[in-house]
Amino acid sequence: MVLDVRSWLGEQVRARVVGPDAPTRHAELFDTDEPGWFADDAPIRRVHADASMFVGGLRALLFQSLHPLAMAGVAQHSDYRRDPWGRLQRTADFLAATTFGPASQAQRAVDRVHRVHRHVVGVASDGEPYAANDPHLLEWVHIAELDSFLAAHDRYGETPLVGDERDRYVADAAVVARALGVVEPPETEARLRRRLEAFRPELRGTREARAAARYLLFQPPLPLAARAPYGLIAAAAVALMPAWTRPPLRLPWLPVSEAVALRPAGELVTRTLRWATT
């Protein structure tokens, strides 16, 4: 019975995150002798394989929305409302291909992003033009993801990074960032923190960002049975957001409740997901 529940839950997660062709895609990425971009023991593989990525990924979307130009591109060109699972699957596939796949699949994933980004151009609501392939915006998306994945792995990862593993993870991620077009991405955690601070003056809450946060946190397209675990993931993601990001997105800040209730809940849901998918 336990195995049946574990198998069912694992299949449900993989169907949502990978898509209906999960076995075929798994074979393309893992059943090959072609080397990938990273060694088997690279820190990026440990972080990106962990169930904490469910929390980190949602936190990254909230954090990234604070840049008005990045958010304008999402609001005007993304189909996250009409096809949220498709967007999740494309993002998950990119991470899987670049982190675990053979070099040819990793490069193919990067090329696909470049093709899509060529069409993501426009003007934000304040009249400022944007382009998704702008190296500056690409850097913001990259460092917001990196900070989010690290924060989630520190809190909920099975084996958190220690010592120089943290810098090695940032350096690993820089390989992917450069392939995407980021100019001089950070290669140490200290440099990552400095770059995040440098972006602070550009960040603010916009109507589009707040609408996206409401949708992600309170209106996910999920069956009733999945609402409760998703709610725990969402609460854990919000709890990892820096205090200064809460007011612009109108997110609550309840430090005592987050420490007493949300952290154990986040640990429970990530342990459950890890149990189901490994």
Q: Which residues contact 220 (CB under 8 A, 6 or more apart)?
A: 84, 227, 230, 234
Stated as kind and residue range, the H or E segment containing 157 is none
Q: Which two tokens stand for residue 100?
A: 């675990």
Q: Does residue 229 lie in a domain region?
A: yes
Per-residue pLDDT band for 81 (boundaries 50, 70, 90) equals: low
Round to whole Å and give the CA distance between 24 and 137: 33
CA–centroid distance for 199 within its chain: 19
Q: Indicate whether 278 pLDDT > 80.
A: no
Q: Indicate whether 204 pLDDT > 50.
A: yes
Q: Which two tokens stand for residue 77?
A: 């060109």
pLDDT digits (tens, 9 = 90+) for 137-194: 999 999 999 999 999 999 999 999 999 999 999 999 999 999 999 999 999 999 999 9
Please state the domain count of the chain. 1
Q: Does residue 34 lie in a domain region?
A: no
Q: Indicate whether 258 pLDDT > 80.
A: no
Per-residue pLDDT band for 85 (boundaries 50, 70, 90) equals: low
Q: Indicate whether 260 pLDDT > 60.
A: no
Round to whole Å and give the CA distance between 159 and 195: 26
Judged by phi (left if over 0) then psi (alpha if -120 to 50, else beta), residue 184 lies in left
pLDDT of residue 133: 94
Round to whole Å and give the CA distance between 121 and 39: 36
For 129, the 3-state DSSP assignment is strand
Q: Which amino acid makes up residue 129?
A: P
Q: Does residue 58 lie in a domain region?
A: yes
Round to whole Å and give the CA distance between 49 and 273: 12
Residue 78: phi and psi, rounded to 5, are -85, 150
Q: Indicate whether 261 pLDDT > 80.
A: no
Per-residue pLDDT band for 8 (boundaries 50, 70, 90) equals: very low
If you write DSSP's letter for every residue of 56-90 in order, what string do you get? HHHHHHHHHTTSHHHHHHHHHH--TTT-HHHHHHH
CB 70 within 8 A of CB 78: no
Q: Does residue 35 lie in a domain region?
A: no
Q: Does residue 222 lie in a domain region?
A: yes
Q: Does residue 52 lie in a domain region?
A: yes
pLDDT digits (tens, 9 = 90+) for 220-247: 666 666 667 778 888 889 989 999 999 9
Q: Which amino acid makes up residue 94?
A: F
Q: Indicate whether 256 pLDDT > 50.
A: no
Q: Indicate whether 255 pLDDT > 90.
A: no
Q: Which residues contact 259 (CB under 8 A, 6 or more apart)?
A: none
pLDDT digits (tens, 9 = 90+) for 14-72: 555 555 666 677 778 888 889 999 999 999 999 999 989 989 998 999 999 999 999 99
Round to whole Å and give the CA distance between 14 and 88: 11
Q: Which two tokens stand for residue 227?
A: 């609402």
Integer CA distances (angstroms), 128 to 70, 134, 144, 191, 204, in order? 11, 13, 21, 28, 14
CB 247 within 8 A of CB 203: no
Q: Flag the least confident range among 23-32, 59-68, 99-108, 202-211.
A: 23-32
Integer CA distances (angstroms), 139 to 68, 116, 185, in order? 14, 17, 7
Per the structure, the complete domain to which residue 59 belongs is given by: 2-29+43-277
